[in-house]
Amino acid sequence: MSDTANSALDLEPFRSAGRALDALSNAGWVVQDVIGDVRATLTTHNLSGALVGLAPLQPAIGDVEAVGELDGHEIRLRMFGGVLEVVSLPAVDPHSLFDAGEDLENALRTWDRDTAAAQLLPLVWRVTAYLSVRGLVPASAEIDVRMAVDPNTIVTSFTAASLPALNRLVPATGARRVYLSLRGAAAPVHLGTFSLVASGATSPVLLPLPAIPPPGEAAAAQQGVALPSPYTLIPLAPTFGPLAEWEPAVRRCVAAAAASTWALLASRAELTGDTVSLDFLGFKRIRLALPDVKEMEPNSVAAVLELRAWALQDTSPDRLLAVRQVVSLYERDDAFGHARDIRASAEIIYVGLRSDAVAEVVKSSRDAQALANDTVRQALKSSQDLVKAATERFLAGLVAIGAVVIANASNNLSDDVSRNLLLLLAGFFGVLAIVAVFVEGPLLSLQMKYLAADLRAGSSLLTEQQRQAIVDGASAQATRERIRVVRASVPVLHVALAIAILLWVYPANFG
């Protein structure tokens, strides 16, 4: 997945349109909020005033239609390219509708397609203004914007849609789709191939490139049913903290990604209404009904997405075959709640499918265990050598201290010389403590620290769980504990001896 922005969306025109739309609502207009088809309607006797009220909405207005009615007869006006024109007149003589005078004159001019005269007629006008994003987004921008007035309209569209219906809301390819609300200030959320944006967010909004599906997901086919691909529904980056208005929609999309993953893993999928049936062909054939997206628990969703990452990471069919074998052993629909167990079992089958023989797996396990044992033995020997060396240095230090004390007591060394020698000994042990912390200790831990990486490089046939079990074995854990004790005790011993020299040997001379 890429986080590289390929375009930026300026929100200021949408904010202006939102403010103008709010003003229309306050003036009596009825706003019908539908994604991609926002329209405002007004019933009035003053058509000219209504058109003046629409002026602040330019250039968001894509179309305006006015229908005037009198005695069951209608005059229809429509705006083309910003110009209002008469498009439909009743098949009746205007003399039969209007009395002589100014109204009749305006009617005769209207029948001659005079728009200005039509606006002066005493009719009940139903005015409908359609909002379009074409005038708010630069033509050069490779963005597919779907506009709504309120963020709840967008959220409801996602939360109310069944899994098959989501396929119409979420693009699989092409330009990034943006669902944009004219109200709200929630931070944008970028999912696989679409984004949820509120006009009150920080502008401009950098839009990432559409996500790229993992190789296995791109190669898998949902035979017989059209469902959104999981990669289109998963957020491009982890989300931290509340998502404000967008949170229900994001949760529903992630759950839908998990449900769609099961359809990819199945041998065959079949759609009946909004119900998706899945066939798994393995040790036996089993048919399962895919649960409703709204019934999927967050923990179950996370487990399914982990299974997806493992099963669809490459184009080889072996992982899919292993998953289908395991799922076929379940009864009824309880397989959908055991994604982690299915993965653990499928990994073992996959290893057998990928190796030349099961014996190779056994040999790999034995070699990995031997490597771990050798590492443990070498680490123990190194720790013993370090303890032995530290003990020898400690005893040698005690002998040196005793020699200095005896020599001073017999007056063979002066107090100043004795004091300097003892200070040198204290400094020497301080240096030994520093070396133990920064040199000897890290070297002692080196082999155990990289045991997992060595197993991963040398035992590729084992599953990650098998390798981790060796790394976390009892002998390995005990060795790590011993190393921690040795790494802590050696420098402590050196520092303690240095402090003892400074505090208790000739205390009168160290004041």
Compute the average pLDDT of residues 30-54: 89
**Confidence (pLDDT) at 147:** 92
Average pLDDT over residues 330-358: 77
pLDDT tops 70 at residue 249 = yes
Specify whether the CB–CB gap between 277 and 290 falls below 8 A: yes
Work out the pLDDT band at 98, boundaries 50, 70, 90.
confident
pLDDT given for residue 359 in this prediction: 53
d(CA 9, CA 25): 26
Averaged pLDDT, 340-362: 72
The model's confidence at residue 3, banded by pLDDT at 50, 70 and 90, is: very low
Q: 505: pLDDT confidence band, cut at 50, 70 and 90?
A: low
Question: How far, rounded to the nearest angstrom, does the alpha carbon of residue 292 sit from its chain's CA centroid?
Answer: 22
Structure confidence at residue 408 (pLDDT):
67
Residues 66-81 have a mean pLDDT of 89
> Mean of the pLDDT values across residues 18-41?
89
Looking at the chain, the whole-number percentage of residues with pLDDT higher than 90 is 26
pLDDT value of residue 209:
85
Q: How confident is the model at residue 388 (pLDDT cuts 50, 70, 90)?
A: confident
State the pTM of this model. 0.66
Mapping DSSP to helix (H, G, I), strand (E, B) and coil, where does residue 242 land? coil
pLDDT at 423 exceeding the cut of 60:
yes
Position 207 pLDDT exceeds 70 = yes
Dist. CA 123–CA 509, nearest whole Å: 114
Task: State the Cα torsion 340-343-345-346 to the nearest 10°.
Answer: 170
So what's the pLDDT on residue 354? 65
- Residue 87 is inside which H or E element, if any? strand 83-88
Higher-confidence residue of 360 and 183: namely: 183
| H-state helical runs in 410-473 | 415-435, 441-449, 451-458, 464-471
**Predicted pLDDT at 411:** 66
Average pLDDT over the chain, rounded to an integer: 82
Please write the tens of the pLDDT for every residue from 299-337: 899 999 999 999 888 877 888 888 988 888 887 667 888
Q: Is residue 148 within 8 Å of residue 155, measured between CB atoms?
A: no
Q: How confident is the model at residue 140 (pLDDT cuts 50, 70, 90)?
A: confident
CA dist., res. 330 & res. 323, Å (int): 12
Beta bridge partners of 143: 176
What would the two tokens of residue 316 be? Answer: 């080889």
pLDDT of 346 higher than 80: yes
Confidence of residue 277 (pLDDT cuts 50, 70, 90): confident
In the 8-state DSSP scheme, what is residue 191?
A: B
Q: pLDDT at residue 38 above 90? A: no
Residue 511, pLDDT score: 42
Give the separation between CA 462 and CA 96, rounded to whole angstroms: 93
Please state the three-class secondary structure of 54-79 as a single string: HHHHCCCEEEEEEEEEECCEEEEEEE
pLDDT of res. 1 = 38
- Over 80: is that where the pLDDT of 285 sits? yes
**pLDDT of 223:** 53
The closest alpha carbon to 3, from 210, 201, 214, belongs to 210
- Is the distance from CB of 163 to CB of 256 less than 8 angstroms? yes
- Alpha-carbon distances of 489 from 64, 398, 409, 433, 437, rounded to whole Å: 85, 18, 33, 10, 10
Instruction: Please count the other Cβ atoms lying within 10 Å of the Cβ belonging to residue 174.
Output: 10
* Owner of token pair 């009198």: 70
Q: Where are the beta strands (DSSP E) in 105-208?
A: 124-131, 143-148, 176-181, 189-190, 194-198, 205-208
Whether pLDDT at 405 is above 90: no
Closest to 250 in 3D by CA, of 263, 262, 237: 237
Chain centroid, CA 259 distance in Å: 17
Quick one: pLDDT at residue 211?
A: 85
Which residues contact residue 18 at a Cβ distance below 8 angstroms, ignoring those fewer than 6 apart? 149, 182, 183, 199
Cα 416 to Cα 169, 401, 426, 509: the distances in Å are: 89, 15, 15, 8
